[in-house]
Structure 1
Amino acid sequence: MRIKYLIVGAGMSGLAFANFIDSDDYLILERDSEIGGWCKTVKKEGFVWDYSGHFFHFKHPDIEAYLRKRMPDDEVSTVEKSSKIRYKDALIDFPFQKNIHQLAKDDFIECLYDLFFRDEVAASFDASSFKGMLYEKFGRGISEKFLVPYNEKLYACDLEELDRGAMGRFFPFADIEEIVRNMRRPDNASYNATFTYPKNGAIMYVNALASEVDESKIWLDQALVNVDLNRKIATLSDGRTIGFDHLISSAPFDRLLPICGVEPEPGVFSYNKVLCFNLGFDKKGIEGVHWIYFPEKKYSFYRVGFYDNILAGASGGKGDDAAGSRMSLYVELGYEKDAEVDVEAAKAQVLADLEAAGVIDGHILVADHHVVLDPAYVHITEDSQAAFDELSSMLSLCGVETIGRYGGWTYCSIEDNIVEARALAAKFNTLEALDSKD
């Protein structure tokens, strides 16, 4: 069997490529028993949960329209974000650096003073690192009260290991003028100031893409175990072999390499993993907030999201039972990539921490679900970028293209994955059109 386009991964990237490639000569391999990758949705006891929080911030109206056209008319609504930071038992607005005036007086003065005299400490850190960038831009107070501890919990690593631009456009920068102006004229807009969310979960966007793909061309429970780059032959977990002209992979890059017979330098591709709990409680709790960031080490989690508030916002306050009378949470904990995750111990600690934080108070847990995202956030470093550029170029010469957050070893949005997959498909479509003219 030979296929022109062998697509590895039935997540957003792989399905998007299948949508936009003009050829019908493709096949999608998915190692899981369901499509969607980390965009799966779980429904349990009336609660609607995703594999962690997935909220969509479309910058390309044509892509949003493409997806919406393939979904029920009333499925998606736009929500104006309300996000908070819990700091010293108080909730302040996100982003922290633009809302230091909401802190207690002593903390505010410390942050403002350190902001103006940030050059005094910036020289102590490597300016090319993510940590060095934080001290350079915001000084010691803002960095040490929120930016450093929060991101250390998120990435589960020393921030000096990450590149200065590890978060790209997703980091909420603010200069001194913006910070001071925000004290009188609040403007906390960011790249995700508004977001869209389907009432039946993120899987609805996945299903929109899947609706344009022939089901017979998606092979579930089929992992890629070997690729012969010279002969362009892929071996599957069931022992079958498939020849290909082009292999389009959204699989984690560090795991694709040995499958292709390429061994990278040890440790060059690092990442964290995230344990996400979805928790359903018998009654409502905090109202109106969509998610809260927890930088302090006394809490095991770094972020808690409120699906009941999100779904209420996305349905005009007329959501289902989970969005109406009960509280529905996602709770995220970061781990080093090699750490062992004790789910039951973590769950007990999460429930204790939620109570200590005032998120639950006499609530009864009526439903729960968990998933370990492995990988979750890749660690972008100078070495990883150089290695990726070199090795992905080598694979491309052999007919293998790597895309998506993990295939491209980058920090990006779900829309970015669709944009990238569409661009790659357009390149192949153009080449096919030119070949047909010859």
Structure 2
Amino acid sequence: MPKGTTLFLQFKLRMRMRRILERHNPVCILGAGMTGLAAGLASGFPVFEAEKTTGGICSSYYMRPRGKKRLQAKPKDEVAYRFEIGGGHWIFGADPLVLRLIRSISPIKSYSRKASIYLPDQGLLVPYPLQNHLGYLGSKLASKALQEMERTSPCNNQKVETMADWLHLNLGPTLCELFFDPFHYLYTAGLCKKIAPQDAYKSPVDIRLVRQGASAQVPPVGYNATYIYPKGGLDVLAREMAARSEIYYNHRVESIDLERKEVHFTESRPISYGRLLSTLPLNRMLQLTGLKTEQKPNPSPSVLVLNIGATKGPETPQDHWVYIPKSQAQFHRVGFYSNVDSSFLPAPDRTTKNKVSVYVEKAFPQGQKPTEFEIEVLGHAVVKELQDWGWISDVEVLDPTWIDVAYTWSWPNSKWKEEALEILDQHNILQVGRYARWVFQGIADSIRDGLIAGTTLRVEV
């Protein structure tokens, strides 16, 4: 693009931004993740994003083999690994209208889940969910686990307050000792004996299938048995949604003045608003507004995601992702982007299939981010452990990403979420999306919620 044209476009953008800053905006949207993009698309109201790109934790990026720099767009020669900021994000449970919208923006591909549990002491991969594949554990262990599960009943008046209570009641002590206790300890950053039961569908219990799986194959179960993914990557979907919206990048919220109805940014002038549609985490919005709740805030562990590009090892799993109950580096999940789709690999390696694009997740207590040196040491420890397992060999890329609010748990009997949402709503702040409303949901539901919220506010205003 000629230099004069570039300068003209930059001037137009500055003038448009000045008009936004100087006018009173009936609605402003905070966050250009999938929910915020959908809300902006449906409403036409401006969206303010802290980063220089869209997509939030679903953002895709590229790195060349042996390279150190993240590329926001696919290089023309396609000699690069593709990763995502928060690890693999696959789109499941899309209702027909959301699916139609996604298809109108980007072609999609469909997949059938292939996931396992890895028991490192035995060197054993067992298909997910573990309880439906007891036959892999040997007849003695399978028989014991089955007997325990048949004896348990949600109606036996056993007190269930915590996630650990629920797991033991429904899955029995043998399977909990083998997998569920150590895995959930890592997954929740040590909170599983303190937080309320949640997302039971992730550990489905159907005693009929448990019995069948002790001696035979069973059909896939769970909320993500099938899923879709944009053919060009999530970055393409996010960019195309952003192109249809009014997005302002590099606008990180510093504080929100409820009296003056102003949003203050770290490096830009404040904007005035009538209503805010926020996709920012619920606990973060309370901090930004200075609002207090009587209830103790619910916990939200952070997650370090290590993205790895490497040569395959002799024992590289064929799974899309693997749950890990025990590891020296204390990671709890390993995902294989390139087992889902070879487009995550550099172009020359897509046919030879001797490389692998990987993500590794390790949870931390809320906000306790390691130092750069600690992350480097941990990264090398993770690589060595995966090499010892035979899952990878020579590493070409090792790139860490940090998700400050990764999982949203609740204390037993907590009403904090309801109280926080009500207080914000009283101040004309509508929380929309997974982290904003403190729920677990996938990309499709986040897009749907953004569309509904954006349309509602457009009609109201």
Q: TM-score, normalised by structure 1?
A: 0.87
- What is residue 143 of structure 1 aligned with on the other side? 176
Listed as ranges, the gaps of 5+ residues in structure 1 are: 433-438
CA distance in 2, matches of 1:355, 1:199: 30
- What is residue 268 of structure 1 aligned with on the other side? 297
Q: 1:296 aligns with which of 313, 316, 326?
A: 326
Q: 1:49 aligns with which of 83, 86, 103?
A: 83
How much has 1:267 moved relative to structure 2?
Answer: 5.4
Q: How does 1:342-361 map to 2 (within 5 A)?
A: 342-360=374-392
**In the alignment, is the contact (CA less than 8 A) between 1:268 and 1:383 conserved in 2?**
no
Letter paired with 2:176: S
CA distance in 2, matches of 1:299, 1:345: 10
Q: 1:98 aligns with which of 108, 117, 132?
A: 132
- Equivalent pairs counted in the alignment come to 413
Once the two structures are overlaid, the 10-residue window that deviates more, 92-101 or 320-329, is 320-329
CA distance in 2, matches of 1:168, 1:115: 16
CA distance in 1, matches of 2:231, 2:381: 30
Deviations 1:27-70 (A, max 9, x none): 21111122111011121122111121111114312211211211
Q: 1:186 aligns with which of 218, 225, 229?
A: 218
1:4 equivalent to 2:26? Answer yes
- What is residue 194 of structure 2 aligned with on the other side? 161
- What is residue 436 of structure 1 aligned with on the other side? none
CA distance in 1, matches of 2:39, 2:241: 10
How much has 1:430 moved relative to structure 2?
Answer: 4.0
**In the alignment, is the contact (CA less than 8 A) between 2:312 and 2:356 conserved in 1?**
yes
CA distance in 1, matches of 2:203, 2:46: 40
**In the alignment, is the contact (CA less than 8 A) between 1:118 and 1:140 conserved in 2?**
no
Q: 2:460 aligns with which of 413, 425, 431?
A: 431
SS of the counterpart of 1:419?
helix
Listed as ranges, the gaps of 5+ residues in structure 2 are: 1-22, 65-79
CA distance in 1, matches of 2:29, 2:102: 20
Q: How does 1:245-284 map to 2 (within 5 A)?
A: 245-264=274-293, 268-283=297-312
Q: 1:371 aligns with which of 397, 401, 413?
A: 401
Change (3 A) 1:229 1:340: closer
**In the alignment, is the contact (CA less than 8 A) between 1:67 and 1:208 conserved in 2?**
no
Deviations 1:262-285 (A, max 9, x none): 134685231111111111113465
Q: 2:46 aligns with which of 23, 27, 30?
A: 27
Q: 2:358 aligns with which of 305, 329, 332?
A: 329
How much has 1:163 moved relative to structure 2?
Answer: 1.5
Deviations 1:144-171 (A, max 9, x none): 212221122111123122222x2254x2
- Give the superposed CA RMSD: 2.4
- What is residue 97 of structure 2 aligned with on the other side? 62
SS of the counterpart of 2:276?
strand
**In the alignment, is the contact (CA less than 8 A) between 2:49 and 2:247 conserved in 1?**
yes
CA distance in 1, matches of 2:38, 2:276: 15
- What is residue 451 of structure 2 aligned with on the other side? 422
State, as a whole percentage, how many aligned pairs show the same letter.
Answer: 22
**In the alignment, is the contact (CA less than 8 A) between 2:262 and 2:271 conserved in 1?**
yes
Letter paired with 1:102: Y
**In the alignment, is the contact (CA less than 8 A) between 1:8 and 1:247 conserved in 2?**
yes
How much has 1:302 moved relative to structure 2?
Answer: 1.0
How much has 1:407 moved relative to structure 2?
Answer: 0.9
**In the alignment, is the contact (CA less than 8 A) between 1:49 and 1:201 conserved in 2?**
no
